[in-house]
Amino acid sequence: MDSSSAPPPVQASAPPSAASAPKVSTASLVATMLKVSPQVSDLIFSPGRTPQVELNGQLREVNIVGVGKLVPDATRRIAADLIGSNELVSTKLDKEGSTDLSYSLPGLARFRVNVFRQRGSYAIVMRVIPQVIPDFNTLNLPPQLGEVAELRNGIVLVTGPTGSGKSSTLAAILNKINEEKAYHVLTIEDPIEFLHVHKRSTIHQRELHSDTPSFALALRAALRQAPKVILVGEMRDKETIEIGLEAAETGHLVFSTLHTVDASKTIERIIGVFPLADQQGIRARLSRAFRYIVSQRLIPKKDGSGRIAAIEILRSTMRTREYVEKGETEGKSLLDAMRDGSNEGMQHFDGELERMIRSGVLELEPALSYATNAGNLRLQLADLAEASEVTV
């Protein structure tokens, strides 16, 4: 979209026309939408639609007195209310067409917000951040992930698509470190999601656009701020990855996320960011620096009570380090290593799906759509399908 077709800049002081504005305040609107269910994960405001919430992966309209289908002036006003007086965020939205920020309703909820331009108007997506930092039991995390808190250096990556629970998993791990270790912990986030209080550790949280202009600059500065643990919200670019590797190599424990579907694709994504001439060197460095790659997929439960995470865990061993450094070949893949590595705390997606299907947590056909290799998994579960046909 060229600048001539862009909507007017979002400014808190620019009220919409009275005819198009919702008759409730933005704070009241958001609070009402949250009352739909404790399991609401996202709030969506889009021109031409009634306000919506996402519940267990499905969108539902929320009918609120005084609020019908939203028009462009209404979403612009909601965006302005959320942004408030943060000029850096407003400028980024004006220049780049989208921006991230955090928003809080005291005593009720916090949100990670993305405001973006589309078809000449503004739309808003608000991800609900739980007030209480989740623990391992709440998230049903594999107990072997508790060993991450004992690491002294290296890189731990949590990967998965948007909305797969990466931030919650990292928050649970960081909280465990906070409770058990007297460390200096520094986070760099876009925006800050879970608010960590000082426990045994001292935690400083920096937010993009409010406290620092970029991940790379904040990460570079972090090397001079004496942290033991560094959390980088996302490995977005070559410079951030390079500095993250440098931090891990100089004795820091680095956590971050990537939007990749599994461990193998994570390695490919990182290596692929670099020029071909540098890739072998990066492979060697990454093979020495990585400690865990944890990949997640959220899947609807069979009983309809919500979603559960299927988690793949790749751990640094002599075998996996070799495969990262030299590349994967037939019979020598990271998936092979994870299949054979249960005694070393590793697990793979399809193995976890099979376990949850057999235990009755997941329904067969819907779960197969989340598999890495649905055909092979279906063969593994052939006895279950046959038993089901006999029962019917």
pLDDT tens-digit map of 55-89:
988 899 999 888 889 999 999 999 999 999 888 88
What mean pLDDT is predicted for residues 133-150?
93
Quote the pLDDT of residue 18.
35
What mean pLDDT is predicted for residues 321-329?
96
* CB-CB contact of 224 with 243 (8 Å): no
| Length, in residues, of the chain | 392
Sign of the C-alpha dihedral, residues 217, 220, 226, 229?
positive
With a cut of 50, say whether residue 17 has pLDDT above it: no
Measured CA to CA, the distance from residue 107 to residue 86 in angstroms comes to 22
Measured CA to CA, the distance from residue 75 to residue 113 in angstroms comes to 13
Quote the pLDDT of residue 66.
83
Quote the pLDDT of residue 385.
63
**What does the DSSP assignment read for 211-272?**
TBS-HHHHHHHHTTS--SEEEES---SHHHHHHHHHHHHTT-EEEEEE--SSHHHHHHHHHH
Alpha-carbon separation of residue 88 from 71, 206, 210 (angstroms): 26, 15, 7
Using pLDDT thresholds of 50, 70 and 90, give the confidence band for residue 21. Answer: low
Quote the pLDDT of residue 106.
87
Q: List, in sequence order, every residue forming a beta bridge with 60; answer none if it has no partner.
A: 53
What does DSSP say about strands 40-45 and 52-55: parallel, antiparallel, or unpaired?
antiparallel
Half-sphere exposure of 144 (CA within 13 A, CB side): 16
* CB-CB contact of 294 with 315 (8 Å): no
Report the percent of the chain where pLDDT is more than 90: 78
What mean pLDDT is predicted for residues 114-138?
93
With a cut of 70, say whether residue 309 has pLDDT above it: yes
Measured CA to CA, the distance from residue 323 to residue 320 in angstroms comes to 5
Between helices 72-83 and 26-34, what is the axis angle to 10°? 90
With a cut of 80, say whether residue 330 has pLDDT above it: yes
- Give, as one character, the DSSP assignment of residue 215: H
Mind listing the domains of the chain with CATH numbers? 3-129 (3.30.450.90), 136-347 (3.40.50.300)
Using pLDDT thresholds of 50, 70 and 90, give the confidence band for residue 383. Answer: confident
* CB-CB contact of 138 with 153 (8 Å): no
* CB-CB contact of 184 with 226 (8 Å): yes
* CB-CB contact of 335 with 348 (8 Å): yes
Q: Residue 7: which of 126, 123, 125 has the closest Cα? A: 123
Using pLDDT thresholds of 50, 70 and 90, give the confidence band for residue 4. Answer: very low
Using pLDDT thresholds of 50, 70 and 90, give the confidence band for residue 355. Answer: very high
pLDDT tens-digit map of 82-122:
999 888 889 999 999 999 999 999 888 899 999 999 999 99
Q: What is the pTM of this model?
A: 0.83
Quote the pLDDT of residue 56.
83
The residue that leads in pLDDT, 392 or 206, is 206
What mean pLDDT is predicted for residues 256-274?
95
Alpha-carbon separation of residue 60 from 22, 32, 36, 200 (angstroms): 19, 14, 9, 42
